[in-house]
Amino acid sequence: MNSTFSSVSSHYLRARIGKICVAIIGSTPVDLVQKAETAYRETTFLEFRIDYLPKPLAALPALKEFLGKHPEVTAIATCRREAVGGRFVGTSHAELDVLQKAIASGCQLVDVELQTAEEIRPAAMDKLRAQGGGLILSYHDFVTTKDLDGVFERMLAFEPEFIKVVSTARSLADNVALIRFLERARDKANVVGICMGEQGVISRILGPRSGSVFTFASATTGEETAPGQLSAQTLLELYRVDQLDAATKVYGVAGNPVTHSLSPTMLNAAFRRERVNSVYLPLQTSALSDLLTLVREVPLSGLSVTMPFKQEILKHLQKTDAISEKIGACNTVVRSQDGKLYGFNTDVAAVVRPLEKRLVLRGAKVLVLGAGGAARAAVFGLKEKGAEVSILNRSLLNAQKLAKEAKAKVAKAEQLGKSDFDVIVNATPVGMGGVKTHSLLKPEEINARIVFDLVYNPIDTPLIKAARAKNIPVITGIEMFVHQGARQFEIWTGKPAPEDEMLRVVLHSLRQRAATANGSH
């Protein structure tokens, strides 16, 4: 093949494309083109997954008309076979026939799997290349991330315009392996690199700044063509992928689960509002060692730490603030220039301050539900302010342990119906979307002047609803959530947090989620 043509065409194609290619799927050719018309308003770089159609060839006349009408669109045609993760049921030769006709219909690029290129005769590939379209040679591993360099070397032999290596992340550290691969390979070819899966989201956002020529997105949420794929709107508006560069600082929320956390929405909005060159990612993992690899290798500039790591992370920190040390739980980490980690706790103030606005805490009788990281913050913070704190927890042993450490009391379940409190604080995950366990309190046991639920999603938890039914004033978890996030922003950036903007985006997102949930029933 003519490598001079390849370099000229790849330079030309690179000049035409952006950092995000939007994958278009449809149930019919008309549906496919209608979705392309919608996506075209935001981006001119589109991938047509014609393998999703029962008869891919039937889409080509409509595709030709669309591309003729929009000459500024750069189009990839993909007709991936079932054997390599697509939906096309034909042979590899039938696939190449479809792709040749897609080039004739105006597509500038076609995507062919490495396995297909290796199993057919070179003459068939030459015939495809002779059509004048650029070749994206792609490789997908739907199980793991391994031997990326070996795969890359096999692909180089075909001299494609673009090499696309897609693996599956089983850990956060797999993203590091992919990023390092991109850094090694980017000077040898035009490379696209992605980790699929929930834990590969980091690669989709940070890939382009590490050497991936572009990344893929779905046209809308619900139309993903690969596990873990994000919508174009999410990549552009939430993560500002087109603006990330080598100087962008990376932060994230670490824990399990964090997939539905609104921390990325809240803190990315704060970075955008204050023009801070930083991005904040969801870091889902169940292993602290996996998280620490990511912190060290990316490297991350800071972390929000959630369940189950608030206590476990302490032993990996160089130093913590006095309150983290005292309560034995940290929710905020800063990484210094020399790589050392420092811990802070913004949960404590976020529990105490909303209550201080409403009542005097000295001498107030407070019932705290739970004995985990959030409960520790509430118990120690309230004790420090002179409140009388009682703890109720499913595990009596854990309640007794926390009560002893904080010089608090253990609440007796049988006496709750007869007890009155100034404040009841829920510091368990009960009421959180997706959590099945039931409340520690029966409705008749909710006797307080104020009920404070630290769960923020949904806004109206069962406990909040039960309190309102009894005309008890409530504090929702949003107040705590935004307050602790605002303090984290200030610790990381040294700037005052745009708290009103943070509250606005969180409320907006929660209302959108509630509307979507109600609409889907």
Domain covering 3-246 in this structure, CATH number: 3.20.20.70
- The answer to whether 328 is annotated as binding is no
- The answer to whether 239 is annotated as binding is no
**pTM, 2 dp:** 0.91
Question: Is 1's pLDDT higher than 70?
Answer: no
> Quick one: what percent of the chain has pLDDT higher than 70?
98
pLDDT tens-place string over residues 62-98: 999 999 999 999 999 999 999 999 999 999 999 999 9
Question: Is 7's pLDDT higher than 60?
Answer: no
* Token pair recorded at residue 502: 């943070």
Q: Return the percent helix, strand and coil in the chain, to nearest 5.
A: 45, 20, 35
**Residue 423 pairs with which residues in a beta bridge?**
366, 450
- The answer to whether 456 is annotated as binding is yes
pLDDT tens-place string over residues 25-36: 999 999 999 999
pLDDT tens-place string over residues 477-499: 999 999 999 999 999 999 999 99
Domain positions in the chain are 3-246, 250-347+483-510, 359-472
Does the annotation mark 164 as catalytic? yes
Tokens 């290349």 sit on residue: 129
Amino acid, res. 493:
T
Q: Beta-strand (E) ranges in 159-229?
A: 162-168, 191-196, 215-218
Q: For 208-226, what is the mean pLDDT?
A: 96
Of the candidates 19, 140, 383, 385, the residue annotated as catalytic is 140
Of the candidates 35, 310, 385, 483, the residue annotated as catalytic is 310
* Domain 250-347+483-510 coded CATH 3.40.50.10860: yes
- Structure confidence at residue 173 (pLDDT): 97
Does the annotation mark 140 as catalytic? yes
- The answer to whether 199 is annotated as binding is no
Q: Which CATH number fits domain 359-472: 3.20.20.210, 3.40.50.720, 3.30.750.210, 3.40.50.10800?
A: 3.40.50.720
> Nearest to residue 293, comparing CAs of 169, 167, 144?
169
CA torsion angle 265 271 277 280 (round to 10):
-30
Tokens 């160089």 sit on residue: 318
Beta strands at 421-426 and 365-369: parallel, antiparallel or unpaired: parallel
Q: Judge whether 250-347+483-510 and 359-472 match in fold.
A: yes
Average pLDDT over the chain, rounded to an integer: 94
* Token pair recorded at residue 487: 């303090």
Tokens 């119906």 sit on residue: 417
- Structure confidence at residue 307 (pLDDT): 85
Local confidence band at 8 (pLDDT 50, 70, 90 cut-offs): low
Distance (Å, whole) CA 320 – CA 345: 9
Does the annotation mark 483 as catalytic? no
Distance (Å, whole) CA 81 – CA 21: 21
Q: Is 382 exposed, middle or buried (0-12, 13-18, 19+ CB in 10 A)?
A: buried
